[in-house]
A = this chain, B = another copy of it.
Amino acid sequence: MNLETMGEKAQVASRKLAQLTTEEKNQALRSMAQALEDHTENIIATNQRDLKAAVGLKASFVDRLTLDRARIVGMADGLRQLARLADPIGDVVDAWTTPTGLEIAKRRVPLGVIGMIFEARPNVSVDASGLCFKSGNAVILRGGKEALQTNQMLVKVLRRVLADHGLDPNAIQLIEDTSHEVANQFMQLTEYLDVLIPRGSARLINAVAQQATVPVIKTGAGNCHIYVDDDADLAMAIDVVVNAKVQRPSVCNAAEKLLINSAVASEYLPAIAQALIDQKVELRGDKRAQAILGDQVNPATSEDWDTEYNDYIMAIKVVDTLDEAISHINQHNTQHSEAIITNNYANSQRFLAEVDAAAVYVNASTRFTDGSEFGFGAEIGISTQKLHARGPMGLKELTTTKYVIRGDGQVRK
């Protein structure tokens, strides 16, 4: 099927979706969860075929591609969780009456048709479909070619549930031609796509931002910093830095850089460094960090300051002032999550105000920037742009608003 046709069908489906009641959506979500579990054997068998074709790919890639029993239960539970979440559609965000008596309500409505571009992880098919469906949006999925058969199977299961519930199955569609040409066309399907959300590597996200003429929400790049102030508690600094670096190094909210004030660097750095080395973290330091840590640290190059490792690596820079820390962060960060460890009130206030990022922390790990940690219940990604949504994106971030205005014949003078 060509993309125009898919777009048209998605748009038709989206208009019907927007009118469903919360309960109609929740029932379908619960049935989707059940259907996935009922088809566990089938899904695993199909996934095995994708995995067989994935010879020679990196172990981490193969891991992301793999669906086992636990992951299928996880996807199903995610859908059930969505069914329990509040439905943002219909919420009145603001309302007032004008001097001429017009009643204006700003009401939350679905975006319409959402495009998702992602890579190896087939669970994105289900997670994104569930989030889009609950928020009243149609979705068109374009997953990586390595996961095609698995994605086809998952989408088939979900679409059948929609049909069984008397709903339009075209609310969830998968692009089966995984060529780059079709992906590029998809990014320019302005007539039908209201937004395009890429999920995956920085390379994918930047390519989409470059190619797309459809509005894009950039997600997931995280070159996150922790700044240890001259008035910081050492034990807290160690706890937070180690947690932010190693609790899950592969994700975007993991810390990649440690900045430390020169007034405490000689005293604190050896202890923090040792704690990181104990967790098998490779350290890279600027000249002053090297002077303090000696052999424990490799030299950092200028490239390091802009690199998101997503790995057991951390670069360390010694700074003389809070100003220098803030300015380094604002120059090199990806506007994701940044933290200061301090007991100085004025410094905490300045850091929160002046660091430009989706989430700014005092005395806590950057790892908390996450839809479930924030209490959103579900997340389609973490926006690192300023337009539309910033930070973890839950159901509300998949909506727009509409001014609903009731009058009794008013005309403009």
Contact = CB atoms under 8 A, between A and B. Distances in A.
B364 A111 contact: no
Judged by DSSP, the binding face of A is: mixed
Contacts of A360: 402-405
Contact of A364 (B190, B217, B405): B405
B387 A387 contact: yes
Contacts of A98: 368, 373-375
* Interface magnitude class on chain A: 35 or more
A18 B360 CA distance: 15
Contacts of A411: 239-240, 242-244, 247, 364-365, 367
A359 B405 contact: yes
Instruction: Specify how many copies of this chain sit in the oligomer.
Output: 2
Interface string A348-377: 100011101111111111011100011100
Interface stretch (A61-69, A80-88, A171-179, A208-216): A208-216
A299 B195 CA distance: 37
Interface in A385-413: 385-388, 390-391, 400-412
Contacts of A298: none
A406 B210 contact: no
Nearest to A236: B409
Contacts of A15: 330, 354, 356
Contacts of A77: none
Interface in A211-265: 213, 215-217, 233, 236, 239-240, 242-244, 247
A368 B405 contact: yes
A279 interface: no
A19 B353 contact: yes
A112 interface: yes
Contacts of A209: 190, 213
A224 B237 CA distance: 59
A387 B213 contact: no
B356 A407 contact: no
Given A390-B400, A400-B390, A408 B215 contact: no
Given A102-B364, A239-B411, A240-B409, 16 more contacts: A19-B354, A98-B368, A98-B375, A215-B387, A243-B411, A359-B403, A363-B409, A364-B406, A364-B410, A364-B411, A365-B411, A369-B403, A374-B403, A387-B387, A390-B402, A391-B403
Name the 7 nearest CB pairs between A and B, nearest first.
Answer: A364-B407, A243-B411, A367-B412, A386-B400, A388-B388, A359-B403, A236-B409
